[in-house]
Amino acid sequence: MAVATTAGVAALTSAFPALYDDRLWLCLVVLVLITAVNLRGIVDSAKAFIAPTVVFVVSILVMIAVGLFRDAPAPTATAAGHASALADNATNVGALLLLKAFASGSSALTGVEAIANAVPSFRAPRARRAKDAEVALGVILGVAGG
């Protein structure tokens, strides 16, 4: 949870640099909010987290679709006509992106464990519903991560 919170706050402060000095407090506030929601129980926490989860999955799928149907690669030259740092270091960036994809995929697999641990919480028939949830998770990971 701490890694995901830190990554989310890092993304937030990247989008809003004025918040950079408040990273610690933002992380603590997010952790307190998540803890408070989780303390309300599985049903209430599932209801609270379903909307952000769906928005995240849909956003990833839209980004993949836009990337697949783009007719040209993103430009790598600056306005002055000089090559950008990305173009000069494309091989290094490619290796880092592969490592990032591996790390993201590995951390995403924790969802498999979460579903397995929650089987007693599923409505009857539990085994079928858990299997369906695992298959859905696999499809989402396969499409979004691969």
Could you tell me which residues are beta bridge partners of residue 83?
A: 77
Residue-wise pLDDT tens for the chain (146 aa)? 777 888 889 988 988 999 999 999 999 999 999 999 989 987 788 888 888 888 888 888 888 888 788 777 666 555 555 555 555 666 676 777 777 776 776 666 666 677 777 888 888 898 899 899 888 888 887 777 65
Cα(99)–Cα(106) distance, integer angstroms: 11
pLDDT in the model for residue 109 = 62
pLDDT in the model for residue 107 = 65
The DSSP-derived string for the chain is: -HHHHHHHHHHHHHH-GGGGGGHHHHHHHHHHHHHHHHHT-HHHHHHHHHHHHHHHHHHHHHHHHHHHH-SSPPP-B-TTSPBPHHHHTHHHHHHHHHHHHHHHHHHHTHHHHHHHHTGGGSPSSHHHHHHHHHHHHHHHHHHHH-
pLDDT in the model for residue 20 = 93
pLDDT in the model for residue 87 = 59
Q: Are 1 and 34 in contact (CB under 8 A)?
A: yes
Whether this prediction's pTM lies above 0.85 is answered by no
